[in-house]
């Protein structure tokens, strides 16, 4: 190229500007063409529905966070839709299908474990629980239980002491929603 | 092509294009291949771009400024983008024949598309069925009507099948899944129509009902029988909570490794019992394993879908495809897009840094959504250079791109949100409590293999033999009917199920059934979400219809 002079610089700048303009237009037309195809062939999703749903969900969360809202009454002392109340530990009694003894419903699982020979003595159980818990961590699972028995197998006495769902976490803290 | 996409395609073809095609002969779209390296120029102004159109009626090429109306030649092709243009309409127009011609001319083998048109039995019209006189008489004489009076049901007309389940000691994981299954429409219909009669099953298997020797070992457990018993109990009209003790017993016999008085994971339990039902029914019927067919047992007929996995070599483009059956879809929670404190910043007085962030969060992307998770699940993922896969065409390991999609939607889709993260540094896991938005109605079309493939090929209208499955058809539209939520920590928490019946929401918390406002459900922390296809299609049966 010849030595840069004002004319050359201006011409280069104009060329560069033209190339840029062409590239930009090409990109824009690419996008426009794709969107045009999607729109004309009816391939796009219903975006309005999605936005509507998100709006409803945000409103719902605001309302749920309002402490005045009793919708999520956490207590086990509510009256159900049939007008019934139930004790925290299920007290229906039935026959164990393994050993024929009469067992209370809320105690059935720990009984069955020993009855089927799947459980072990309490001390061994505590060790296995922690191993199982470690395995469970690697398996990545969410555990769920009833709030009136803690996880290492010792059960609470059914002396009517109150227990509210969500209170009984293994470290004693209370998780609020 | 499905009716609605071909209707749209027809509308997108203007009358000028239609008349051009009718008079154009056998190869109207023949042009030099787009990959030709010859540089073209506009014959009017000699411009080389940015948009050049090749006329379909004569061998001339013009830029967009000069493309109109030469010699009444109306149709041209944008040579860079492969799109038809009509000068009379001054608009881009479309035709399926052009799309298929283009794809074939690119040398792409049509096999990926042929896979989509899998061998399907033809769909038939729904024919309503009513029992014959004799059948009706037999039903009436052999049964009692369940019809609680208004007073008995407390003045409310609650849907049938609502009954609490007693917690037997750390069993809320079981109760929550049972409640969802009890109200899974095709599963409920199966059991309530006596398709697995527990008395018949036990008689066949030599178990005399009620006559146990005392150690229970004589009775081989059948989870389907126990489920049948629960259905009968829950739909009986009895309102006192039911204790699913027999079911627990049977399940522990099946899943020995999970049989302990401990907290369990609801998703694990769900998969385990579907597996148990499958094994037992297969054993009884003596049918060989038929993976992917989905017709082996009711568990698979309801929940089994098919996932497609495409691995594309980034060097040569060769794609290898595999199909895997799935009973559910496990989704990772979207990673947190930006720090929560910035999410509400106003756009006004922040410097440009803050403006960008607030613009991003203003999109609503701050809240993870189920559809967002599905987008992530089906997006192309670049496998790292440490994960090179062997490419058959290149005959060496290459970097590849992997993409998942749904080949076949199950009747009922269970979405499992992986609400845990592992920290390899601290060698522990913790639960992610972040809220996830889930819609009450969900359209799965964008995640189907047909859509994903179509998008991969520039959204061309594909030349599929037979019907294009599921696209724009009601069977891709799903409705939410059950949500299982978890509250608490990873190793200690509580499960609750929300059921949607007659468009009312009911909270099933072990023995306590209460009605709740839908906002409670929207705001809940979903762990397992159950969606059912809005409309079922009936396939022609291979078997002659006989009364069994």
Chain A residues with beta carbon closer than 8 angstroms to that of B517? 71
The residue ranking higher by pLDDT, A41 or B517, is: B517
Catalytic residue status for B486: no
* B354 compared with B9, residue with greater pLDDT: B9
Residue B180, pLDDT score: 97
So what's the pLDDT on residue A32? 93
pLDDT digits (tens, 9 = 90+) for A109-159: 999 988 888 754 443 444 445 445 555 544 556 766 544 433 333 332 223
Q: What is the pLDDT of residues B272-287, one digit of tens each?
A: 999 999 888 777 666 5
The per-residue pLDDT for B95 is: 87
Angle between helices B245-254 and B266-285 (to 10 degrees): 80
A17: which chain B residues are within 8 Å (Cβ-Cβ)?
none
Active site residue B172: yes
What residues of chain A, 8 to 67, have a C-beta less than 8 Å from chain B?
Answer: 22-23, 25-26, 29-30, 33-34, 36-38, 40-43, 45-46, 49-51, 53-54, 56-61, 63-65
pLDDT for B253 equals 87
The pLDDT, as a whole number, for residue B14 is 85
CB B320 within 8 A of CB B392: yes
Mean pLDDT of chain B: 79
Contact residues for A7 (Cβ-Cβ < 8 A; gap 6+): none
At residue A176, φ and ψ (nearest 5 deg) are: -95, 150
pLDDT for B476-515, tens place per residue?
899 999 999 998 887 788 999 999 998 899 999 999 999 9
**A11: closest CA of chain B, how far (Å):** 18
pLDDT band, residue B120 (cuts 50/70/90)? low
Q: Residue A162 pLDDT > 50, yes or no? A: no
Residue B41 has pLDDT above 50, yes or no: yes
Q: What is the pLDDT of residues B298-353, one digit of tens each?
A: 999 999 999 999 999 888 888 899 999 999 999 998 776 544 443 343 433 433 34
* Cross-chain Cβ contact B491/A110 below 8 Å: no
Contact list, B445 vs chain A (CB under 8 Å)? 45
User: Is the model more confident about B103 or about B516?
Assistant: B516
Least Cα distance to A110 among B478, B359, B245 occurs for B245
- Distance separating alpha carbons of residues B138 and B151, to the nearest angstrom: 30
Label residue B5 by pLDDT band (50, 70, 90): low
Residues 157-176, chain B, touching A (beta carbon < 8 A): 158, 162, 164, 166-173, 176
Q: What is the pLDDT of residues B511-542, one digit of tens each?
A: 999 999 999 999 999 999 999 998 877 766 65
Judged against a pLDDT cut of 90, whether residue B154 lies above it is answered with no
* Cβ neighbours for B371, distance < 8 A, ≥ 6 positions apart: A50, B439, B442
Burial B3-40, CB ≥16 within 10 A → b, else e: eebeebbeebbbeebeebbeeeeeebbebeeeeeeeeb
Looking at residue B293, its pLDDT comes to 58
Give contacts of A 63-122 with B, CB under 8 A.
63-65, 71-73, 76, 78, 80-84, 86, 89-90, 92, 94, 96-100, 105-110, 112-113, 116, 118-119
Q: How far apart are CA B458 and CA B82, in angstroms?
A: 10
Residue B242 has pLDDT above 80, yes or no: yes
User: pLDDT at position B316, please?
Assistant: 85
pLDDT tier at A61 (50, 70, 90 boundaries)?
Answer: confident
CB pairs under 8 A between A and B: 291
User: For position B212, what pLDDT does the model report?
Assistant: 45
The burial class, CB within 10 Å (0-12 / 13-18 / 19+), for B348 is: exposed
Which is higher by pLDDT, B361 or B262?
B262
- Tell me whether residues B487 and A177 touch, CB distance under 8 A: yes
Task: Say if the Cβ atoms of B364 and A54 lie within 8 Å.
Answer: yes
Mean pLDDT of B159-180: 94
pLDDT (average), residues B180-199? 93
Query: What is the reported pLDDT for B522?
Result: 93
**If pLDDT is split at 50, 70 and 90, which confidence band does A54 have?**
confident
Q: How confident is the model at residue A163 (pLDDT cuts 50, 70, 90)?
A: very low
- Tell me what the mean pLDDT of segment B279-297 comes to: 67
Answer yes or no: is pLDDT of B38 > 80: no
Burial B418-444 (b: 16+ CB within 10 A, else e): ebbeeeeeeeebebbeeebbbbbebbb
Overall average pLDDT of the B206-233 stretch: 69
Q: Convert the pLDDT of each residue in B440-489 to its tens digit.
A: 999 999 999 988 988 888 888 765 544 444 444 568 899 999 999 998 88
Which residue among the candidates B172, B225, B373, B414 is catalytic per the annotation? B172
pTM (whole model) above 0.90: no
Q: State the alpha helices, DSSP H only, in chain A.
A: 6-40, 47-65, 108-115, 122-139
Using a 10 angstrom Cβ sphere, with 0-12 exposed, 13-18 middle and 19 or more buried, the burial of residue B321 is middle
Closest alpha carbon within chain A to B153: A82
Cross-chain residue pair A144–B472, CB shorter than 8 Å? no
The mean-pLDDT minimum among A2-11, A13-22, B428-437, B502-511 falls in A2-11
Maximum distance among all Cα pairs of chain A, rounded to whole angstroms: 106
- Determine the average pLDDT of the residues in A68-88: 72
**Residue-averaged pLDDT of chain A:** 69
Report the alpha-carbon distance of residue A147 to residue B507 in Å, rounded: 17
What is the predicted pLDDT for the residue at A150? Answer: 39
What pLDDT was estimated at residue B289? 54
Asked which of A124-128, A156-160, B13-17, B239-243 is least confident by mean pLDDT, the reply is: A156-160
Band of pLDDT at residue B97, cut at 50, 70 and 90? confident
Residues of A whose CB is below 8 A from B167: 89-90, 105-106, 146
User: Which whole number is the average pLDDT over B224-252?
Assistant: 93
Q: Can you tell me the ipTM of this complex?
A: 0.73
- Chain B hits for A175, Cβ within 8 Å: 487-489
Nearest to B447 by CA among B401, B392, B501, B409: B409
């Amino acid at each position: 190229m010849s030595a840069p002079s004002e004319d050359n610089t201006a011409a280069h700048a104009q060329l560069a500007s033209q190339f840029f303009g062409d590239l930009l237009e090409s990109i824009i037309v690419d996008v426009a063409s794709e969107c045009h195809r999607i729109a004309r062939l009816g391939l796009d999703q219903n975006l309005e529905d999605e936005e509507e749903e998100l709006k409803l969900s945000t409103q719902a969360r605001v309302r749920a966070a309002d402490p005045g809202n009793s919708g999520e009454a956490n207590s086990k002392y509510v009256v159900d839709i049939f007008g019934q109340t139930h004790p925290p530990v299920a007290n229906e009694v039935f026959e164990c299908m393994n050993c024929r003894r009469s067992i209370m419903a809320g105690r059935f699982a720990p009984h069955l474990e020993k009855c089927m020979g799947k459980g072990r003595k309490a001390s061994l159980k505590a060790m296995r629980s922690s191993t199982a818990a470690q395995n469970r961590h690697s398996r990545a699972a969410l555990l769920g239980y009833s709030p009136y028995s803690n996880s290492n197998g010792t059960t609470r006495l059914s002396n009517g002491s109150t227990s509210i769902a969500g209170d009984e976490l293994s470290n004693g803290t209370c998780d609020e929603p | 092509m499905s009716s609605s996409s071909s209707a749209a395609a027809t509308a997108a073809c203007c009358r000028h294009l239609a008349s051009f095609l009718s008079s154009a002969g056998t190869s109207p779209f023949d042009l030099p291949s787009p990959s030709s390296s010859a540089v073209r120029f506009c014959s009017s102004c000699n411009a080389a771009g940015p948009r050049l159109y090749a006329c379909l009626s004569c061998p001339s090429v013009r830029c967009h400024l000069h493309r109109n109306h030469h010699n009444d030649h109306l149709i041209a092709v944008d040579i860079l983008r492969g799109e038809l243009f009509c000068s009379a309409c001054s608009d881009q127009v479309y035709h399926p024949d052009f799309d298929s011609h283009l794809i074939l001319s690119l040398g792409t083998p049509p096999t990926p598309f042929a896979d989509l048109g899998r061998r399907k039995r033809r769909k038939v019209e729904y024919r309503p069925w009513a029992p014959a006189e004799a059948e009706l008489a037999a039903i009436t004489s052999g049964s009692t009507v369940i019809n609680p009076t208004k007073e008995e049901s407390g003045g409310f007309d609650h849907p049938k099948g609502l009954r609490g389940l007693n917690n037997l000691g750390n069993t809320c994981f079981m109760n929550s899944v049972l409640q969802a299954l009890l109200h899974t429409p095709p599963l409920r219909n199966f059991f309530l129509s006596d398709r697995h009669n527990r008395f018949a099953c036990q008689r066949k298997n030599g178990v005399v009902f009620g006559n146990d020797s005392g150690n229970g070992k004589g009775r081989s457990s059948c989870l389907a029988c126990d489920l049948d018993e629960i259905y009968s109990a829950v739909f009986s009209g009895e309102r006192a909570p039911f204790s699913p003790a027999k079911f627990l017993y049977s399940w522990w016999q099946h899943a020995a490794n999970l049989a302990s008085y401990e907290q369990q994971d609801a998703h694990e339990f769900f998969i385990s019992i579907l597996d148990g039902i499958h094994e037992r029914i297969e054993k009884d019927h003596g049918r060989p394993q038929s993976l992917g067919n989905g017709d082996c047992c009711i568990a698979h007929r309801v929940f089994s879908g098919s996932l497609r996995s495409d691995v594309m070599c980034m060097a040569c483009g060769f794609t290898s495809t595999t199909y895997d059956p799935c009973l559910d879809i496990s989704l990772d929670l979207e990673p947190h897009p930006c720090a929560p404190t910035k999410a509400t910043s106003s756009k006004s007085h922040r410097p440009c840094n803050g403006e960008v962030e607030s613009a991003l969060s203003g999109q609503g992307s701050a809240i993870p959504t189920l559809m967002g998770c599905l987008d992530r699940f089906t997006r192309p993922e670049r496998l790292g250079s440490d994960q090179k896969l062997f490419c058959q065409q290149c005959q060496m390991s290459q970097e590849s791109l992997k993409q998942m999609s749904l080949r076949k939607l199950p009747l009922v889709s269970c979405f499992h949100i992986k609400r845990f993260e592992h920290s390899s540094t601290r060698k522990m896991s913790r639960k992610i409590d972040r809220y996830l938005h889930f819609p009450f109605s969900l359209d799965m079309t964008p995640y189907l293999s047909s859509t994903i493939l179509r998008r991969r090929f520039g959204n061309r209208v594909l030349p599929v033999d037979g019907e294009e499955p599921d696209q724009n058809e009601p069977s891709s539209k799903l409705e939410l009917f059950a949500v299982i939520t978890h509250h608490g920590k990873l190793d200690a928490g509580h499960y609750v199920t929300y059921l949607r019946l007659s468009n009312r929401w009911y909270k099933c918390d072990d023995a306590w059934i209460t009605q709740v406002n839908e906002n409670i459900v929207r705001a809940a922390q979903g762990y397992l979400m159950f969606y059912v296809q809005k409309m079922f299609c009936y396939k022609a049966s291979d078997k002659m219809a006989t009364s069994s």
